[in-house]
Chain A
């Protein structure tokens, strides 16, 4: 109900589109949005208190974001999940809100699993005792089915993931998102506003075409007031397995993520090299960090994860 909710083309004395008078006040006469406002549900979202109640048992909520697709958001989310859950006293949940292109089930080796329903709600699918996952991928009768949904249906599902899933007590909830700055992003932030989001980890690749979209995502985080934990540069550099010669696949002609992070004054968390084994581990649904624990990419991952943990500590709420 902030001033920003008022559309640009509204009359001067607009009562606000979510108020009781919306669409019926005298100022609304002749406004192009009158009909929409008069019929839209009024007042605060009645589901928000339920979401808050569920989320009270979740200590840290972290969003994994990027303006650009295919940069490794889901890969990073899953590896972060695996790494955090290595400590069996830490409870981790992963929520995949990429409704049209869910990758988390495959990457975590849970393809074909189904969600179970109990009295306390939907139960997440567990990789191990302390690592639960929720994704629309578990709800499709055929994995190839297209989810042809417009915004409102996607928002409805995201709300259900927060409200109806029996997450239990969690130390970390990692939210994997689709690329962009649209319905899914606005909704998850709106629904979690009251419970609080620790921050967003932003993933990018080094080339300017990707950075361009990522700068938009950073602008988005600032607009909606989500703290940024830092930026991770993925797929930066490739070491040939045969000759060990290094090549640049996606050239950082504008200085890459590090320079961008400096420019917009957010922490740079580190770079992860392109290792074909990461993709292979994702395709087969195993933890890359466990399978190839001596690789440079694994070290890079672990360093970044340490950075993220310590950033949460310095915020004083770890």
Chain B
């Protein structure tokens, strides 16, 4: 079976996982922003969402309600832009009703992940970004195992600055070391919020913890991403069909792009 995974993924140059021990720190939003920056840089990018019980990627890319098509070569991923530079696959595209819960134990989740790797026709991609659920359990063990033969480039670790989140993320760093997955670096998300009324910056979830942890573990600190409610709004307004094809354009024009592009450049430098 490992052979089929390797053959099916043979058109992909770089594979990057987005991991965190903690939930709700922004793994999916970081995966999306990384993808958008890479696409803007002229790359063909795919996003694979292996968070099976709580998939967020379809919503993030304004693709709620889209369906996967079946071709003779396998499942065709869903494209997020007109030029077909950004495609993605998520269990969200396979549900009849988007509020349906996916009540699966480990073995079924593992089988689904394997199918995403063997049956989706990813084609030629410069980057495949894999978005994961929080934790160090079935999904993570399986993806690390399945990807062993294709040598993924490594993992980007996402955290928020407060100690409670860092405690879980340290476990994730140790997980990467145990399964010998290279760590590309740590991103500190939700680091500070600038009050729109008085410009005072409040550290909602403390600050600086991500950088200190990266130093302690001897891995690169890729940067800080502030809380910007405009990103939530941008994502949430994608429902509006007039904006559906404008995600990349909207993002490039936002303040976040300037900050995140530096992070994305660092990631590119790490893998090339």
Residues of A participating in the B interface, judged by any CB pair closer than 8 Å: 67-71, 74, 99-101, 103, 106-107, 143-152, 154, 178-183, 185-186, 205, 207-210, 212-213, 215-220, 223-224, 238, 240-243, 245, 247-251, 253-254, 274, 276, 279-280, 282-283
A250 to B227, CA, bound (A): 9
Q: Take A243-B200, A249-B229 as given contacts and tell me if A69 and B54 are in contact as well, using a CB distance cutoff of 8 Å.
A: yes
A182 to B236, Cβ gap below 8 A?
no
Residues of B participating in the A interface, judged by any CB pair closer than 8 Å: 21-25, 28, 52-54, 56, 59-60, 98-107, 109, 133-138, 140-141, 160, 162-165, 167-168, 170-175, 178-179, 193, 195-198, 200, 202-206, 227, 229, 232-233, 235-237
**For residue A235, which residue of chain B has the nearest CB?**
B204
8 Å CB contact of A208 from B104, B107, B141, B236: B236
9 A-B residue pairings within 8 Å (CB atoms): A69-B23, A103-B168, A146-B172, A148-B136, A150-B106, A207-B232, A223-B103, A242-B195, A243-B197
Count of inter-chain pairs, beta carbons less than 8 A:
217
A178-B135, A215-B98 known; 5 new pairs, CB 8 Å cut-off, are A148-B140, A151-B107, A213-B56, A245-B197, A279-B205
A247 to B193, Cβ gap below 8 A?
yes
Collect the chain B residues with CB atoms within 8 Å of residue A178's CB: 23, 134-135
Q: Take A106-B163, A209-B59, A243-B200 as given contacts and tell me if A146 and B104 are in contact as well, using a CB distance cutoff of 8 Å.
A: no
A238 to B136, CA, bound (A): 32
What is the distance, in angstroms, from B135's C-beta to the closest C-beta of chain A? 4
A209 to B196, CA, bound (A): 23
What is the distance, in angstroms, from B216's C-beta to the closest C-beta of chain A? 10
What is the distance, in angstroms, from B35's C-beta to the closest C-beta of chain A? 16
What is the distance, in angstroms, from A291's C-beta to the closest C-beta of chain B? 16
Q: Take A146-B178, A208-B236, A223-B101 as given contacts and tell me if A70 and B203 are in contact as well, using a CB distance cutoff of 8 Å.
A: no
A279 to B206, Cβ gap below 8 A?
yes
Q: Take A151-B138, A245-B198 as given contacts and tell me if A181 and B99 are in contact as well, using a CB distance cutoff of 8 Å.
A: no
Collect the chain A residues with CB atoms within 8 Å of residue B107's CB: 151
A218 to B197, CA, bound (A): 37
Q: Take A146-B172, A216-B102, A253-B237 as given contacts and tell me if A240 and B202 are in contact as well, using a CB distance cutoff of 8 Å.
A: yes
A240 to B167, Cβ gap below 8 A?
no
B205 to A276, Cβ gap below 8 A?
yes
A282 to B178, Cβ gap below 8 A?
no
B162 to A151, Cβ gap below 8 A?
no
A100 to B163, Cβ gap below 8 A?
no
Query: At the interface, is chain A mostly helix, strand, loop or mixed?
Result: loop
Q: Take A103-B167, A144-B170, A247-B195 as given contacts and tell me if A70 and B136 are in contact as well, using a CB distance cutoff of 8 Å.
A: no
Collect the chain A residues with CB atoms within 8 Å of residue B98's CB: 212, 215
B203 to A148, Cβ gap below 8 A?
no
Q: Take A181-B101, A219-B101 as given contacts and tell me if A69 and B22 are in contact as well, using a CB distance cutoff of 8 Å.
A: yes
A74 to B171, Cβ gap below 8 A?
no
Collect the chain A residues with CB atoms within 8 Å of residue B206's CB: 276, 279-280, 283
8 Å CB contact of A283 from B56, B163, B170, B193: B163
8 Å CB contact of A147 from B60, B171, B200, B204: B171
**For residue B140, which residue of chain A has the nearest CB?**
A148
A242 to B202, CA, bound (A): 9
Collect the chain A residues with CB atoms within 8 Å of residue B140's CB: 148
A216 to B229, Cβ gap below 8 A?
no
A68 to B137, CA, bound (A): 17
What is the distance, in angstroms, from A193's C-beta to the closest C-beta of chain B? 15
A74 to B164, Cβ gap below 8 A?
yes
A56 to B195, CA, bound (A): 51
A179 to B98, CA, bound (A): 17
B171 to A145, Cβ gap below 8 A?
yes
B162 to A182, Cβ gap below 8 A?
no
Collect the chain A residues with CB atoms within 8 Å of residue B174's CB: 144-146
A205 to B227, CA, bound (A): 15
A180 to B55, CA, bound (A): 10
8 Å CB contact of B24 from A69, A145, A243: A69
Collect the chain A residues with CB atoms within 8 Å of residue B23's CB: 68-71, 101, 178-179
B205 to A68, Cβ gap below 8 A?
no
A151 to B137, Cβ gap below 8 A?
yes
